[in-house]
C-alpha cells in the first residue's frame, strides 16, 4: 500500500495517514492542526479501514469533498479536494511535490509557538517570549494624558 497523505498546499505541509484515526481541527490537541478561524476545534475525523480512508465531518461550519457537503462518512479517493472551513486539503497517494514538509507526527513542529497553545484563535498573532514587554497601566495612562494635553493646547492656541 503506498503512503497516503492529506496535503495542505497553502502551508506546503503533508500529513501522512498512518494511525487508524486522525482528528482535524483548530485545537492544538488535534492530530492535524489547521490555523484557520473558520475551522472548528475538532472539525473532522479521518478513519483508516483497511485500504480505505473514511472522512467524517464533525464541525458546524461544514466539510466538503470536491464541492459536495459531507453529511455522512465518505470514502476518500486519491485526488479528492477536501475543504474544511476555508482550508483546502488534497487526499493523495502520489509522490509529493518538491518543497513540501512531511509532518511526521501529524502536528506542527514543536518549534512552532502556535502549536503550543490550547486553541489557536488568532492565527496571525504569536505569543512568543521575544515580544516587547507591555507597558504598565500607569504608563499608558500618563501617555494618554500627555497626548490629550497636547491636543487641547494645540486647539486653544490655533483658535486664537
Asked if residues 125 and 83 have their Cβ atoms less than 8 Å apart, the reply is no
Q: Is the dihedral of CA 58, 62, 67, 70 positive or negative?
A: positive
φ/ψ of residue 109, rounded to 5: -55, 150
Residues with Cβ within 8 Å of residue 105, at least 6 apart in sequence:
none
d(CA 73, CA 108) in angstroms, rounded, equals 26
Q: What does the pLDDT look like over 136-150, one tens digit per residue?
A: 788 888 999 999 999
Residue 160 has what pLDDT? 64
Q: Which residues of 81-119 are buried (b: 16+ CB within 10 A; e: fewer)?
A: ebbbbebebbbbeeebeeeeeebeebbbeeeeebeeeee
Laid out side by side, the sheet with 52-57 consists of: 32-33, 21-25, 44-49, 52-57, 74-75
User: Can you tell me the distance from the alpha carbon of 26 to that of 84, in angstroms, rounded to the nearest whole number?
Assistant: 10
Q: What's the pLDDT at 80?
A: 94
CA angle 16/35/23 to nearest 5° reads: 45
Q: What is the per-residue pLDDT across 86-126, written as a single tens digit (0 to 9) for each? A: 889 999 988 887 888 888 754 444 444 444 445 545 555 44
What are 25-83's pLDDT values in tens digits? Answer: 888 888 888 888 888 888 899 999 888 999 999 878 789 999 999 989 999 999 999 99
Q: Tell me what pLDDT residue 146 has.
A: 94
**At residue 3, does pLDDT exceed 90?**
no
Amino acid at each position: 500500500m503506498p503512503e497516503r497523505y492529506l496535503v495542505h498546499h497553502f502551508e506546503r505541509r503533508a500529513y501522512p495517514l498512518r494511525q487508524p484515526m486522525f482528528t482535524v481541527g483548530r485545537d492544538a490537541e488535534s492530530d492535524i492542526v489547521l490555523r484557520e478561524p473558520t475551522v472548528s476545534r475538532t472539525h473532522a475525523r479521518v478513519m483508516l479501514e483497511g485500504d480505505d480512508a473514511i472522512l467524517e465531518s464533525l464541525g458546524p461550519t461544514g466539510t466538503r469533498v470536491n464541492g459536495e457537503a459531507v453529511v455522512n462518512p465518505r470514502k476518500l479517493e486519491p485526488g479528492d479536494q477536501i475543504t474544511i472551513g476555508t482550508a483546502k486539503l488534497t487526499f493523495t497517494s502520489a509522490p509529493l511535490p518538491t518543497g513540501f514538509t512531511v509532518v511526521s507526527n501529524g502536528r506542527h513542529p514543536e518549534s512552532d509557538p502556535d502549536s503550543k497553545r490550547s486553541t489557536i484563535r488568532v492565527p496571525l498573532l504569536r505569543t512568543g517570549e521575544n515580544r516587547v514587554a507591555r507597558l504598565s497601566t500607569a504608563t499608558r495612562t500618563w501617555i494618554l494624558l500627555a497626548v490629550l494635553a497636547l491636543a487641547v493646547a494645540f486647539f486653544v492656541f490655533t483658535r486664537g
